[in-house]
Each structure stands twice: as structure tokens, then as C-alpha cells.
Structure 1
Amino acid sequence: MDNTTLPGLIGYSLIACCVIMALVWLWSYKIKNAGVVDIFWSYNFPVIAIILYLFAPGFEPRKLLICSMVVVAGLRLGTHLALRVLKHLHEEEPRYAHIRKEWGKNAERKMFGFFQMQAVSNVLLAIPFFIIALNTSPDLSWIEFTGVVLWIISVMGEAIADTQLSNFKRQSANKGKVCDTGLWGYSRHPNYFFEWLMWVSYFVFALGSPYGYLAMISPAIILYLLTKVTGIPTTEAQSLRSKGEAFKKYQDKVSVFVPWFKRNNAHT
């Protein structure tokens, strides 16, 4: 397998991510905490970026730019999640505990499959990175710089949202309360919004490369996952279980996703 061709780059990236997730599953099996998968889902993107930087035949400055962006974003989010998960490493997050309960006696086997699907999703979502890293054009275009600007906004916005929520939870007086300050007063999920915007920025960056329009699949998948599968639905279901009426009032007051639109007694 030629590691400088698209199939080779995809193959090596997939092998690396699957091996990492298999090892993470073994760890999660030992400590009975599937929450660690979120940490390494984020860290797998820098792994893919390093593979692309080392082996993809694209224009060096372009590769350095996109790979640096992916490494910074992946390490920031992964480390933020690690700090949260490691605080209660031997106490599984409620959403994963709920999934484990639903899966019953087949939970660990299904969890292994879930971890491997996360590895596959890493490679699938990395489509913009492959497209960009294979572009040999010696000129960076304005659309690529537009993608960089959007990326800066998204990473800063997500970091601010994460910090605001962490600071809120750190105060003992807020135990059992719903964070509705800062960006969280305008969106129930500003972190998810900026995470999605980050993938939009990768798509915009990829538009400067041949077949860049194919990169649209990444923000589309992320939007679907966040709004329909593992993001907002599971997070809000857990919040309703743990905070009850307080979170229902918050749902009525604050927009589900877009941070600059504040609702006025409307329903999602």
C-alpha cells in the first residue's frame, strides 16, 4: 500500500485510529468507564493530521497550515474532555451508564463496536484534510484564508463556552442548577454550535482544492450527529433526568443551538 496515495493515506489513518480505539476500549473495560472514548475521538484527528503532514504529497505550507489547525483543535478539545473525565475516572458519565444499562449483558461487546465506529467516523470526517493535503497547487487562495478565519472564530468560541460551563460547575452553589450565563444564556449548546462551525471552516478551506465540494459531507455529518444522535438528544435527556423542571424552563427560554438568537418564551 503506497502511503502517499489517497487509498494509502486513508488506510494508514484507519489502522492507526482503530488500533488506538481498541486499546482505549481495553482501558475502558478495565475501569468500566466508556467516557474515555470522547477524549481519544478528539485526539485521533491530530494523529490523522500528523500522518497527512508526513506522507501526503501536497504543497508544504498548505499541509502545515491545515495540519496545525487540526492538531491545535483536537488537542484543545481532547484535553478539555480529559480534564473533565479524569476527575471521576471510576464513575462513568450518566449518558454512557444509561447506554450500558440499555445494552444489558451484551454491553461490552457492543461498546467495542461503538469504539471502532468512532475510529471509522474519525477517518470519514477527515475528508477535508485528505482533500487539502493532496493539493499540490503552490498558491494559497482567499477562500482558504477565509476558512482559517472561520476556524479561529470557532475554536475561540468553543473554548469560551467550555470555560464558562466549567467555571459554573466549579462553584458548589450551582450544584443542580442550569448554566444560563455568558454564551449559555443565548444557546443551550454553544459548544456544539462552534464545534459544527469548525467543521464548516474545514469545508470552506477545502473549497480551494480540487473536489473540495466533497468536504461538505463533514459538517453535514457533524450537524446530524449533534442534533439527532449523540450530541444534543443525549445531553438534553440526561439534563432532564438530573435537573428536571429547571432544565425544562431553560429549554423554553433559550435557543437550542444558535448562540446569537435568544428565544422569547418560544418552544423548540
Structure 2
Amino acid sequence: MAGGTVFMVGLAAVLVLMTAVWLASVQRRDASLVDRYWGLAFVLFTGVVWGLSGWPLHGLWIVLPVLFWGLRLSIFIAWRNWGHGEDGRYTAMRAGRSERAFAARSLVTIFWLQGALVAVIGLPMLAVVQADGLWWPLALAAVLVWAVGLGFETLADTQMARFRAEPANRGQVMDRGLWRYSRHPNYFGEIVVWTGFGLLALAAGGWWALPSAVLMILLILRVSGVTLLERRLHDSRPGYADYVRRTNTLIPGPPRG
């Protein structure tokens, strides 16, 4: 099946998933449900395009990494947010709107938009499964890069979860473990993961898919990740300014001072 057709079917599958999640969010009045399905949407997109491409064996080079990464991310976010209600970002979007108006708006600007982003950012997955094969030395290096990133973000998330579980740490700045060397080690790990996905696309000859991996990295840095969180923490965490002074923003390094 032609790559364009495969992409469109994959996109349609993700939009169906996001529409179902939107229906659940309307019932529960919790638009942040979309965050729990972000990783799973990539798993779905990758599985669909792999199947429509004839289940090529070399596709496992990217199918398995996406499966492990997507499941871990969705399970972690669901566990972390369980019982905490809607994320403040979405609550702020509700302000001044009726339930019906917000529901209609959120379908397009939150759920369908994220579904479309999954398909566009997922082009490295399409590039790999549609290729005739991969240059295995680069593919092996790419998977090693991906594994380092996944391990890094998993450890960072685990350390933060343990820190937050201690009542004495409420409102305090996390500056232990990996967080001593980077203010956002989880996002650093995520960027390394997507660098690995981009390298896999390159190993398949899919240079045209590299901008998608770059887009994901830019979203992490400038939109939904580092920049947004830095702004919130400056306002809500006493001592965060001092933490900023002595700790690298993203790339781990020795503390200053």
C-alpha cells in the first residue's frame, strides 16, 4: 500500500481513538485524559502503519521501541494523575466557557490537534516500516540511543515520584538523584528517545521524516515541556530561583556553587 494511503489510515485510526477519549473527557469533565493516551496513540499509529505495510520483519526495529516507550509513558501519566482531577492547563481553558462550548472547542483544539500531531510526529515510524530494509549499524546505534533515553527518563520519573510521595517534601524543590544535575532530566531523556527514533528513520533512508523528530523535540523544549514548567515552578516553588542558579536546565552537568 502506498505510503500516503498508509499515513492517512494511521491518522484516521488515531483520530478515532482521540474522539473516544474526548467523549470520556466530556462525561468526566476532565480534558487531561488526553495526556494519558498520548503514548498509546503513537503505539496505535505505529501498529496500524506496520500492519498496512505488510508486517515487515525489519519494522520491529521501531515497533518494539515505540511499544515500550508509549506504554511506559501512558501508564506512568495515568498512575501519576490518578485521583488528582483535571490538570490546571485545561481548567484554565474552561474558564468563561459553558460546558457545551468547551466540549466543542476541546475536541478540535486539544484532542484532534494532538491526534494530528501524533501522525505528523510519527513519520519516522512510517519511514521505517515502509522501507525495504535498514542499514543495521546505524539502526543498532539508534536503538542504543533510544534505550539510554528511555532509561534516563524512567529513572528521573521514578525519583520524582518517590520524592513527591514523602509528605515532608510538599512544596519543596526536587534536587536529588538525576535532578541534582539537570532541572529536567525526564525531558532530557525524552529528547534522547526521539533522537533515537530520528536515527532509525535515517537508517531506513527516511531523511524526509527527520523534521518530525525535530518537531517533537521543539515541542518538549518550547511548548508543552521545559518552558511551560519553568514558568509554573518559578511562581510556585520557594527556592526554585536558587536551584536554577546552580543547576543546568536540560543537559546534565555538575552543580554550580
Per the normalisation by structure 2, the TM-score is 0.92
Structure 1 residue 107: deviation in Å? 3.5
Any idea what SS the aligned residue of 2:203 has?
A: coil
What is the one-letter code of the residue matched to 1:255? N
Is 1:264 aligned with 2:256? yes
Asked whether the 8 Å contact 1:95–1:238 carries over to 2, the reply is no
What is the one-letter code of the residue matched to 1:173? A
User: Alignment partner for residue 255 of structure 1, among 233, 237, 248?
Assistant: 248
Any idea what SS the aligned residue of 2:37 has?
A: helix
User: Alignment partner for residue 100 of structure 1, among 69, 94, 110?
Assistant: 94
Asked whether the 8 Å contact 1:46–1:71 carries over to 2, the reply is yes
Any idea what SS the aligned residue of 2:239 has?
A: helix
CA distance in 2, matches of 1:37, 1:10: 21
Any idea what SS the aligned residue of 2:31 has?
A: coil
1:68-116 Cα offsets, whole Å, 9 max, x none, are 111111001111001112232xx21223323433x74554333222211
Residue of structure 2 in register with 1:222 after alignment:
216
CA distance in 2, matches of 1:98, 1:76: 28
1:39-118 equivalences under 5 Å are: 39-57=36-54, 60-88=56-84, 91-101=85-95, 104-105=97-98, 106-113=101-108, 114-118=110-114
Asked whether the 8 Å contact 2:180–2:255 carries over to 1, the reply is no
1:144-223 equivalences under 5 Å are: 144-210=139-205, 212-223=206-217
Any idea what SS the aligned residue of 2:182 has?
A: coil
Per the normalisation by structure 1, the TM-score is 0.88
Asked whether the 8 Å contact 1:62–1:140 carries over to 2, the reply is no
Asked whether the 8 Å contact 1:36–1:85 carries over to 2, the reply is no
Asked whether the 8 Å contact 1:21–1:116 carries over to 2, the reply is yes
1:129-176 Cα offsets, whole Å, 9 max, x none, are 111101123x65201111011111111111101101101001111111
CA distance in 1, matches of 2:93, 2:171: 22
Number of aligned residue pairs: 254
RMSD over aligned Cα, in angstroms? 1.8
What is the one-letter code of the residue matched to 1:250? Y
1:148-207 Cα offsets, whole Å, 9 max, x none, are 111111111111011011010011111111111111111111111111111110111111
Any idea what SS the aligned residue of 2:5 has?
A: helix
Unpaired runs of 5+ residues, structure 1, are none
CA distance in 1, matches of 2:31, 2:169: 26
CA distance in 1, matches of 2:120, 2:73: 19
Residue of structure 2 in register with 1:122 after alignment:
118
